[in-house]
Structure 1
Amino acid sequence: MASQVIESHRAGAEIVTGGDAVCQKKSVELLEELGLPTGLLPMEDIQEFGYNRATGFMWLVQGKKKVEHTFKNIKQTVSYAAEVTAFAEKGKLKKITGVKTKELMLWFSVVEVYVPEASPDKTIEGHRAGAEVVTGGDAICRKKSVELLEELGLPKGLLPMEDIQEFGYNRATGFMWLVQWKKKVEHTFKKIKQTVSYAAEVTAFAEKGKLKKITGVKTKELMLWLSVVEVYVPEASLEKVTFKTGTGLSDTFDAAAFALGE
């Protein structure tokens, strides 16, 4: 079914063949038009470039089955399959296929690449304006945190930070934050044997049944720490909690594992 959908997006697309030089040129021009780095797709011997401007679907086909490229400035190795596809929009490639990034000994699929519209720091500071801010020690800040989680319909033990010094919540925008005294706290949820790390400051955007765009939270998988970017309770199963990482991976657990004191 997915392949049929993809094929439908190829219909009506601009298709360029004729060798690597012209295909590379079209690829770079598209990335530049989208406001993305022009070296984002360093594939080799590209044989075909396609772009459906109406739907945003684009693809590149290279002569080799796979090319690995290391971006030297960040020492990050990325693998590009024989065909890479994506849906393009201003500042973003989404629903990417054929691209993987290496973390230690594991390869993770890259599903989205984007350039934030504004500096994250400036955006975050804007959300702090007009927020309810509570200080005065761990007890009162923890109480406010638990009350908010309960109001959202999320497990009350989801944020077991220590010695919390500040709680903030902007009800108008949903932005919330917690600041703890320690630089980092690791907590193991015993029922699921899952270790989660909480930075000195944790931020998120809150809505009913969900925390999204989370910063400062990581979960340990094998030898890797993966950033948790979203936590939500599925509407169809309120007894479950799903964690989504920045790599696109997600896992679902019993909500009872995140009760207070667990």
Structure 2
Amino acid sequence: MASQTESHRAGAEVVSGDAICRKKSIDLLEELGLPKGLLPMEDIQEFGYNRSTGFMWLVQGRKKVEHTFKKIKQMVSYATEVTAFAEKGKLRKITGVKTKELMLWLSVVEVYVPEASPEKVTFKTGTGLSDSFDVRTTCSKAPTMASQIESHRTGAEVVSGDAICRKKSIDLLEELGLPKGLLPMEDIQEFGYNRATGFMWLLQGKKKVEHTFKKIKQTVSYATEVTAFAEKGKLRKITGVKTKELMLWLSVVEVYVPDASPEKVTFKTGTGLSDTFDVTAFALGE
């Protein structure tokens, strides 16, 4: 598979990092008219697509991922490398994907949505056996946050690459009057900010980053995707950020610096609990 991938690398669009690879694969599936949740791989390290040959590939960090599509109780296995030739409504000559039938794992060689029945998706195995499922009850939905990002992408300033993304996020926090070290994410793949809607997002290469702010001994977790609505002195409707309280991880939904106390920053969780700290605890490098 690796040699097959290499033979199609010239002229291909190739990206690295879980967040951007996941986005690119979902975008391609959507473009092809296939269910967007068809490739639920984990820790994706590389995505490539050669538009001239139709060859696509995904390389994930894990040796194998087994995923059960709950609504149809169907288990599918994804190898470290998954490849296919993509065309409208179809992935063919697939490698690295297997489906479980009784006690056997059968290689999936083709997945397609027939033009005559766009509500159905068919999986064809190397044995010649095939099975069809309702697109809506199998794997048609993309992650909620990704779709939220897409709805704000038009008109947004979007940059790629860790250094420029980090700079842009720090500049925005400074502009908002928030601590500049508030989002210590790693290997940032994409930063976006739609000034008209106030929506901002960060996509990082790592699946999750846990950071302990030393001065207050507070651990905060940052998911692959972090989103928020930004306004002066505040980030609200935050997704992808959690704080650890005792043994529990609580979602952080709002962070703000009160006008009356600019030296303080408050974190509000989805449970309604909030806590206030000195702004200096979230300076760059803390």
TM-score (norm 1): 0.53
**Over residues 201-226 of structure 1, what are the superposed CA-to-partner deviations in whole Å (9 max), with x where a residue is unaligned?**
10000000000000000000000000
Unaligned runs of 5+ in 2: 1-143
Q: Distance in 2 between matches of 1:182 and 1:121?
A: 16
Structure 1 residue runs of 4 or more that deviate by more than 3 Å after TM superposition? 119-124
Q: Is the 8 A contact 1:128 1:175 kept in 2?
A: no
Please give the secondary structure, in 1, of the residue aligned with 2:167: helix
Matched, 1:221 2:221: no
Q: Is the 8 A contact 2:145 2:225 kept in 1?
A: no
Aligned to 1:39: none
Q: Is the 8 A contact 1:155 1:259 kept in 2?
A: yes
Matched, 1:130 2:155: yes
Q: Distance in 2 between matches of 1:179 and 1:145?
A: 11
Structure 1 residues 165 and 122: CA distance shift in structure 2, 3 A: closer
Please give the secondary structure, in 2, of the residue aligned with 1:160: coil
Task: Choose from 202, 208, 212 the match for 2:226.
Answer: 202
Please give the secondary structure, in 2, of the residue aligned with 1:197: strand
Aligned to 2:70: none
- What percentage of residue pairs aligned between the two structures are identical? 87
Structure 1 residues 227 and 155: CA distance shift in structure 2, 3 A: same
Q: Is the 8 A contact 2:149 2:201 kept in 1?
A: no
Q: Distance in 2 between matches of 1:186 and 1:120?
A: 20
TM-score (norm 2): 0.49
Task: Choose from 176, 179, 185 the match for 2:203.
Answer: 179
Unaligned runs of 5+ in 1: 1-118
Q: Is the 8 A contact 2:243 2:249 kept in 1?
A: yes
Structure 1 residues 132 and 123: CA distance shift in structure 2, 3 A: same
Structure 1 residue 143: deviation in Å? 0.4
Task: Choose from 253, 272, 286 the match for 1:248.
Answer: 272
Please give the secondary structure, in 1, of the residue aligned with 2:196: coil
**Over residues 74-125 of structure 1, what are the superposed CA-to-partner deviations in whole Å (9 max), with x where a residue is unaligned?**
xxxxxxxxxxxxxxxxxxxxxxxxxxxxxxxxxxxxxxxxxxxxx8765543
Q: Distance in 2 between matches of 1:224 and 1:207?
A: 29
Q: Distance in 1 between matches of 2:173 and 2:270?
A: 22
Cα RMSD, aligned residues only: 1.3
Please give the secondary structure, in 1, of the residue aligned with 2:281: helix
Aligned length: 143
